[in-house]
């Protein structure tokens, strides 16, 4: 595996511009393993068969923890949580007793990849879904993991689960989510890993042009697609949640902090304060990952103490726009798998005020 995985994850470079490597394992888990397209292997939906492997530091993995909780899939799909850092080889299960996942028996996520693909040549990425009986990776194709949670795992959704991928909105959603992914989710990385001043300047302009477009869209609607939360909001939120803590300084995305962009900041607080979002966001792991792993950007590995997280709980007033986060559904119940001690935002606020 390339040493580049140790700092930037799976990516390639085109000249001096950051380009993410999107050659994921395209297998999908579908109802009765129904076919979904040429060249895509499908696996059957089966409660208890699969293990979702995440790191709470990773924005792509954070999507899966949010959607799994919103839909109530905790009993159907178990979850393993890697630590916030990785080395050249892979993510590790250093949060578990003796540094080994109790279900898979692995110390490193790479073992699940190698169990299926000997000498797997790509990045060992999270999120990944692993087949528990064979202990082999099924897929790491993160955009489809959450969409399939919504559309293929419906038998195991909780009562009152929201419709995060409404059929009548899908065409418009795909356009919005493409903008979010290419220009915002990936845009912050394009800034952070730019290989020249010119590449950085172009990336910076692209990112903030897209943020301005999304801000304009949110001036007249509470959520990206209207009155209720959808997959599009999940995809935007995980980048916004990391913006002031990491991307503003570490990735030089510093035209403004999120907290200085009134519409986006109010929207982000609205979503953060919704069950399933803030309670799955681990700012400790987020900061440790970026500042400790990206040694080429931060060679000292010093993790900043700030920012102050208390402002995430300030009133946002977005409820005055109407709508309801879950539409005709209900909020998920109490957190089943809380963040580790000292990592919840409530505890961080107390620690910062001490």
Detail the residues annotated as belonging to a binding site for glutathione. 91
Residue of 189, 200, 204, 267 marked catalytic: 189
Residues annotated in a binding site: 91
Give catalytic status of residue 189 as yes or no: yes
**Rounded distance, CA 161 to CA 73, Å?**
10
DSSP states of 140-161: --HHHHHHHHHHT-GGGPPTT-
Nearest to 146 by CA among 61, 74, 79: 61
DSSP states of 248-292: HHHT---SS-GGGSHHHHHHHHHHHTSTTTGGG--HHHHHHHHHH
Residue of 58, 82, 191, 253 marked catalytic: 58
- What is the distance between the terminal CA atoms of the chain, rounded to a whole angstrom? 44
Give catalytic status of residue 58 as yes or no: yes
DSSP states of 299-349: TT-PPP-----GGGGS---GGGG---TTTTS----S-SSPPPTT-SHHHHH
What is the torsional sign of CA 221, 224, 229, 230? Answer: positive
Work out whether strand 50-55 and strand 128-131 pair parallel, antiparallel, or are unpaired.
Answer: antiparallel
Residue that has been written with the tokens 């792993």 in this structure: 293
Residue that has been written with the tokens 């990785």 in this structure: 86
**What is the set of active-site residues?**
58, 189
């Amino acid at each position: 595996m390339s040493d580049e995985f140790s700092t930037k994850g799976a990516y390639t470079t085109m000249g001096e511009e950051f380009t993410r490597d999107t050659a994921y394992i395209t297998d999908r888990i579908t109802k009765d393993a129904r076919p979904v397209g040429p060249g895509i292997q499908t696996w059957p939906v089966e409660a208890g068969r699969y293990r979702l492997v995440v790191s709470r530091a990773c924005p792509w993995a954070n999507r899966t923890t949010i959607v799994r909780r919103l839909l109530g899939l905790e009993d159907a799909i178990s979850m393993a949580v890697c630590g916030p850092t990785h080395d050249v080889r892979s993510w590790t299960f250093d949060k578990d007793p003796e540094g080994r996942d109790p279900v898979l028996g692995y110390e490193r996520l790479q073992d699940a990849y190698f169990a299926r693909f000997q000498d797997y040549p790509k990045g060992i990425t999270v999120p990944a879904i692993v087949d528990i009986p064979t202990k082999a990776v099924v897929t790491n194709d993160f955009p489809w993991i959450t969409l399939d949670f919504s559309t293929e795992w419906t038998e195991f959704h909780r009562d009152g689960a929201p419709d995060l991928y409404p059929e009548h909105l899908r065409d418009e959603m795909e356009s919005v989510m493409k903008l979010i992914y290419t220009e915002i989710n990936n845009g912050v990385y394009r800034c952070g890993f730019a290989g020249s001043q010119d590449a950085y300047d172009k990336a910076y302009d692209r990112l903030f042009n897209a943020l301005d477009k999304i801000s304009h869209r949110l001036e007249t609607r509470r959520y990206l697609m209207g009155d209720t939360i959808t997959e599009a909001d999940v995809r935007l939120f995980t980048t916004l949640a990391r913006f002031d803590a990491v991307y503003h300084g570490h990735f030089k995305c510093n035209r403004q902090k999120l907290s200085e962009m009134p519409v986006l900041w109010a929207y982000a607080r609205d979503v953060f304060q919704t069950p399933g979002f803030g309670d799955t966001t681990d700012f400790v792991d987020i900061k440790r990952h970026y500042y400790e792993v990206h040694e080429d950007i931060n060679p000292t590995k010093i993790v900043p103490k700030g920012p102050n997280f208390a402002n995430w709980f300030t009133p946002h007033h977005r409820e005055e726009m109407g709508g309801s986060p879950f539409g005709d559904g209900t909020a998920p119940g109490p957190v089943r798998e809380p963040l580790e001690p000292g990592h919840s935002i409530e505890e961080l606020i107390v620690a910062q005020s001490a």
